[in-house]
Structure 1
Amino acid sequence: MRKTLIAAGVAVALLAIHQVPALAAGPAPTEVQIGWADLAKKTLRVSWQDSGEKNLVRVEYPDLPRLNQFLVAQDAGGSNEVVLDTSQFVWQDRARVTVESSDGGVTTARTPSVWFDTQRAAKAVIVGAESLPGRSLRLSWSRAIPADATPNDPLDRPLSEETLDVGFRSTAGETYPVPIDSSTATVPAAIAAQATSVNATNEWGKTSSDQAVVQGATTAILKISPVGQFQRPISFTATAEPRECLAVSCPFSSAMPPTQLQARPDATKPWKTIGTYTGYSTFTRTFPTSGGREYRLYVPAWQTRDYSRWFVGAAVSTSARYSATQAYLATVGFTTNTAQVGQVVKLAVKVLPAGTVKASLQSYDGKVWRHSTYVPLTKGVGTYSFKAAGRGTTRYWRVVVPKMTMNGLPIVATTSKAFKLTVR
């Protein structure tokens, strides 16, 4: 009986302990306000009202509940305000700060500020890049400004206060500022082949274009025969070779356009393309010449890109190389190399271009070439006959075709190879 009473007494005692009321949370903070703390808009101030308790400040993101995080604590009796750096917030369209009080390990409900956006400046998407002669760079981009999810919140700033610049990925960290509302810029010549991006910056941080632009360079070299014959193949050797971009290998094989051989009569006339050639590095080709002209090798501007970079190269050309053109003597010489004294010997001449001129028949006297007679050429063809004289002699002869013009291009005076006549 006594044991039963003791057990009952213990049970009553335990029940009494269990029914002690828990400590009640005090009133939650009120009037949670936010605003900028500095003129540079790098820090923001959070203030509130409470009864002097310890406070805990947190940030909430509606779409990222796991990132709802503790920011700072303030001891009891504090100033009821904290200053937060914008770098403490993640890049989201909405956020808010909450403040709660803590007393004896018991926290109050969280009192939120108004919602505000923490969006960084809209990203610039590069849509065009062109390397210009002199290594300046023309860029174009677009920016899609997102809708403000919290219009007219206390931290809003006008878009005009954002900054936009073209930045160079180099050790010096150069930037080239451009107007915030612009969508194109021609950037002065900078370090060769460096990576370039478009950067937008506001109070929440900087965003850079996903694709950087890398300038390449192209080597162009032309060697061409100084003299050719009309409508006969003339050879040239060309080098058209993109050089490696700084710190990266440009995908040249898909970027390089066909190399062009261009010609013009002289510096007063425009260049015209007379041949295009694929392939890179050094190659040798031929083409028929039609008169004295200036030539150059021309590589058009090129561009290509991958997932993270644009690769661009400016158009490049060699300096002008002049190649003269001689007449092509298709036929020149006597119908026989040996003749009897008094025998009629016939000279036949056929040249291209088929001009109407007077060629000079010359003979060699052992010291100098001497003019013997003129041979009229009509449409490039002429003959001359004479009786052989000077028994027992062998004499060398040649034909000189004077300079002429064909289709506005000069043909220089042309001398044939020597040919002989022996008289018996």
Structure 2
Amino acid sequence: MRSPYYGPASSSRRRRRRTRLTDLSSSSDERILELTPSSSLAAVFVLLAVGATLATVHIMMVNSSEGCFLGEYRAALSDNDHPQFKLAQKHPTTNVSKRSIVSAQRSTTPIVTTVDNFPSICTAAQMESIKKQLKPEGCFGGRPWTQPCSFTQATIGCQDHFWMTEVYAHQSFPDTPFVAIIIGWPKGLEKTDFFMVDLQLGTKNPTTYDANKILAKYGNTCPSRTLQYSGMAAPTTKVYVLESDPNKIINLQAIQQELHAENHLIIETKDFTKSKGSSGSLDAWVQDRLPANEDAIHHLSINVEGWDFEILMGASNMLNRVRYVDFEVQWKLEWNKGSLSILIRKLKTRGFVCYFSGSNGNLWRITDCWLNHYGEKHWGRVACVNAHHPDVNEILERMEIGFTDTISRAISFGY
């Protein structure tokens, strides 16, 4: 049977079959396009091509605005919970060279380029060695408080940052102060040895600031190597301990008085977790208390039970002055909103080379040696040195040697 549209009565003026196609690109009224069967398929291909082009442009815009790439830096983005990098994960940026530097936070602070001594990207052999030592299996899923992840197991326990302390013990500070900032004081006195060592490093005076005497009275903490001191002491040594817990403040002040260290050990009540806006940031505190922008901040240590990410991401200008920083990765509080990959990328734009800092002097470089399971939410310790400053080049060299020595050992963590 013939179609009613093609009967004899209409042979002289045949009507073409009409295909109704809604044009969704109209900003207001819906339009109906009439297409012949032969043109319908072509139209579909045209629309698909336009859509693919728009998607490509969008991806390029996201990568350029949200990325924070430097030179040939390639970080595997595995933090699926962070919306800024979900799209980037679907379109990996590996093997992209010489990308322009764009801050993920759109900061107005100029980004400083890397220097010649910045370590090279890990080789395939190094990555394989790291993966054998920091096994990925236990990091995916599970409960982080049970400490199943390899980089948790590798970095838990006593810390002795001898690569930093031994360099400072022999370094002279004839013209500028030695400055350390310790944010947060853990339960107990686990960080007493940290500020005691900082006092010794700046003043070159291990007798007055005898860590063993204080530790014996207030509690035993992690043992550290006996340092041999040389070089000139800083004219003014300032070790700031910023804490919000009133009970901890009382204990800190008691140590300060016993040491007669009012001129060198400064205890302040400060809670960065409740500070809102730029006025409450670490940048603002440093600008208020240490306004000499050319002076170094030799040691920045952060331990605030999950707020490390927020404090460091909120810091900008002051990071350019910091020589060495250590902090904790967490799975709770602000770490739920951010990720280690984002923070490592930001720190690299400021010149920092970061490592997982393990017990027994073990070091695993994170910067340009990224493995996917590092993005999982678990606890761990990280230490970073700023490659932009020649006065700490030796610390970087020692840490790189420590890293290559570590991955040559027959050790492994995780399941």
TM-score by length of 2: 0.20
Higher Cα Rg, which structure? 1
Higher relative contact order, structure no. (Cα contacts within 8 Å, ≥ 6 residues apart): 2
Q: Which has the higher helix share?
A: 2
Q: Which has the higher strand share?
A: 1
